[in-house]
Amino acid sequence: MSFEIEEIGGSDQKGEVIAGPGVEFPRVINTQLSKVMLTMPWMKHTNPMTAFCLMGLVDRRRTSLLLNFGDAFVSHARNKCADIFLKSNAEWQLTIDDDMLVPFGNASWFNAHSHHPLPEKFASLNAMDRLLSHGKKLVGALYFGRHKYGPPLYNEGINNPTEAEYSRKAPYDLIKPTNWVATGCLLVHRSVYLDIEKRFPRLARRPDGTGGNWFSTSEHNVMDMVDKARAVLNTNGCTANSAHEVFSILETAASEGRHKSSLGMGEDVQFCMRAREAGHQPYVDMGLVCGHIGQCVYGPKNTFKRP
């Protein structure tokens, strides 16, 4: 696994070294002008079209770059990128996966390489500008699964057939609140990570600023209840009253486990659920339509309702 960080904004400012466990060859970077950190939690290979899109998004006046490659455990890769992002002075993180076709301001190029050409107004969008323009702390692009029956990758799009059909008629010039949105092209304000840490201390970073678990599978709610039950027994001993209190606590833990367990969830769902509990509503941008690269570039025009 390797991390590479490159600063793109002015060279006359004082830089800082961002490093940590597992970070190879840390570079001295300048974060003074970096409003947005463009992060790439990629495997060892990416599609050339994805790389070209990111080249179009990089803005030397405001962006820094973070590449994490070679980590097959995607939630771990996303956590490590967030660790490093929070050590920088960047306000926003734009994370883009290694299989995305993202609008970057060139309508003819985007439409020529996708299987779902968009009206020029939408194909000519710059994904970074578009997502920043909404002023929302957590907002992602609209895209679809990488197969013939790929659903729109946000909560209501997957769970509501009517919503899925509506999504396949995109783009629409609007954003919608959602329970979760996929992380393939996602803008996150730094306060989302910090507030999740406050809400769920078990997921927080260590004192050295590493080890955050915003995207990890974790039964933190249940463990909090277990600690609470232990505290009751340690304080009051095993009396009838304390046993009743502990039983109530464990019943609550079981209920929370059934409704909030992250086991079996994608890391995007886990992250957005935690963000919502920490006070940050996720949104999906119905006008920023991205391609999802598999055997072809999948999007609203070549994905269909499963028979």
Q: What is the pLDDT of residues 4-38, one digit of tens each?
A: 555 444 333 333 333 333 444 333 233 444 589 99
Query: Please, which pLDDT band fits residue 115 given cuts at 50, 70 and 90?
Result: confident
Quick one: pLDDT at residue 81?
A: 95
Instruction: Report percent pLDDT > 70 for the chain.
Output: 79
Query: Please, which pLDDT band fits residue 178 given cuts at 50, 70 and 90?
Result: very high
pTM, to two decimals = 0.81
Q: Is the per-residue pLDDT at 237 higher than 90?
A: no
| Least confident segment among 121-125, 174-178, 226-230, 293-297 | 226-230
Q: What is the pLDDT of residues 271-304, one digit of tens each?
A: 999 999 999 999 999 999 999 999 999 999 999 9
Name the residue type at position 301: K
